[in-house]
Structure 1
Amino acid sequence: MSSTRLSSPRHILRVLVLSLAVCGTAQAAAPTPFAVQAVTITADGATRRPIAPGIYEAAYSPATQALYVASAEATTGTQGGVIYKLDPETLQTLGITHTNDENFGLAMDPSGKTLYITNSLNAGVSALDTETGRIKAQTTFTERSKDGSAYGPRKIIYDESQKALYVGGVGDPGVIWQVDAATLQVKAVIQNAGKWVTGLLLDSDAHRLYAANGGGEVLVIDTQENRILERWTPGDGKEWLLLNLALDKSRHRLYVTDHSKQKTVAVFDTRTGKMTNRLDTAGDSLDIQFDAQRDQLYISHREAGTFSIVDADTQKTVRTYDLPPMPNSVLISPNHKTVYVTIKTPPNKDYSASGAGSIARIALP
Structure 2
Amino acid sequence: MKQQFTAMALAFALAGCASQSTPVAPTPPKVASPTTAGTLTKRELADGLYEMALSPKGDALYVASAEGFKDVQGGVVYKLDPQSLKTLGLSHTDLKNFGMALSEDGQTVFVTHSLDGGLSALNTADGKVKARLLFPERNEKGLPFGARQILLHNDTLYVGAVADPAVIWVVDANTLKLKTRIKNTGKWMTGLHYSSQTGRIYAANGGGEILVINPRNHRIEQRWKPLGDKPALLLNIAEDRDTGRLFVTDNSKAKTTLVLDIRSGKVIKQLDIGDSLGVVYNAKRHEIYVSQRESGNVLSLDASTYAVKKRWSVKPNPNSLLLSADGETLFVTVKQPFNKDHSTTGPDSVVRIALNH
Q: CA 1:30 to 1:49, structure 2 compared with 1: closer, same or farther past 3 Å?
A: closer
**Does structure 1 residue 263 correspond to structure 2 residue 263?**
no
Match of 2:8 in 1: none
CA distance in 2, matches of 1:202, 1:360: 26
Match of 1:294 in 2: 285
Alpha-carbon shift at residue 64 of structure 1 (Å) = 7.7
The gaps in structure 1 that reach 5 residues or longer are 1-18
Alpha-carbon shift at residue 63 of structure 1 (Å) = 5.5
CA distance in 2, matches of 1:95, 1:181: 24
Match of 1:115 in 2: 109
**Does structure 1 residue 152 correspond to structure 2 residue 120?**
no
Alpha-carbon shift at residue 45 of structure 1 (Å) = 2.9
- Identity score, percent: 47
1:66-215 equivalence runs, <5 A: 66-145=60-139, 148-159=142-153, 162-215=154-207
Greater shift in the superposed pair: 217-226 or 267-276: 267-276
**Does structure 1 residue 310 correspond to structure 2 residue 301?**
yes
Tell me the alpha carbon deviations over residues 90-120 of structure 1, each in whole angstroms, 9 at most, x when there is no partner: 0001111000000000001111111000010
Aligned length: 343
Q: Which runs of 4+ in 1 moved over 6 A?
A: none
Q: CA 1:22 to 1:81, structure 2 compared with 1: closer, same or farther past 3 Å?
A: farther
CA distance in 1, matches of 2:58, 2:26: 15
Q: Read off the aligned partner of 2:149 and give its amino acid letter.
A: K
Alpha-carbon shift at residue 229 of structure 1 (Å) = 0.8
1:316-355 equivalence runs, <5 A: 316-355=307-346
Q: Read off the aligned partner of 2:311 and give its amino acid letter.
A: T
Tell me the alpha carbon deviations over residues 258-288 of structure 1, each in whole angstroms, 9 at most, x when there is no partner: 01111110111123212221111x2100000
Q: Read off the aligned partner of 2:271 and give its amino acid letter.
A: L
Alpha-carbon shift at residue 186 of structure 1 (Å) = 0.9
Q: CA 1:206 to 1:272, structure 2 compared with 1: closer, same or farther past 3 Å?
A: closer
Q: CA 1:327 to 1:237, structure 2 compared with 1: closer, same or farther past 3 Å?
A: same
What RMSD over aligned residues (CA atoms) do the two structures have, in Å?
Answer: 1.9
Q: Is this contact kept in 1: 2:239–2:281, CA < 8 A? A: yes
TM-score by length of 2: 0.91
The gaps in structure 2 that reach 5 residues or longer are 1-10
Alpha-carbon shift at residue 34 of structure 1 (Å) = 5.0
Choose which of 46, 56, 79 in structure 2 pairs with 1:62.
Answer: 56
Match of 1:6 in 2: none
Q: Read off the aligned partner of 1:347 and give its amino acid letter.
A: F
Choose which of 17, 22, 26 in structure 2 pairs with 1:31.
Answer: 26
Tell me the alpha carbon deviations over residues 223-268 of structure 1, each in whole angstroms, 9 at most, x when there is no partner: 1110111111124431111000011122221111001111110111
TM-score by length of 1: 0.89
CA distance in 2, matches of 1:30, 1:302: 32
Alpha-carbon shift at residue 40 of structure 1 (Å) = 2.0
Match of 2:47 in 1: 53
CA distance in 2, matches of 1:322, 1:171: 33
CA distance in 2, matches of 1:46, 1:217: 35
Q: Read off the aligned partner of 1:319 and give its amino acid letter.
A: K
**Does structure 1 residue 40 correspond to structure 2 residue 31?**
no
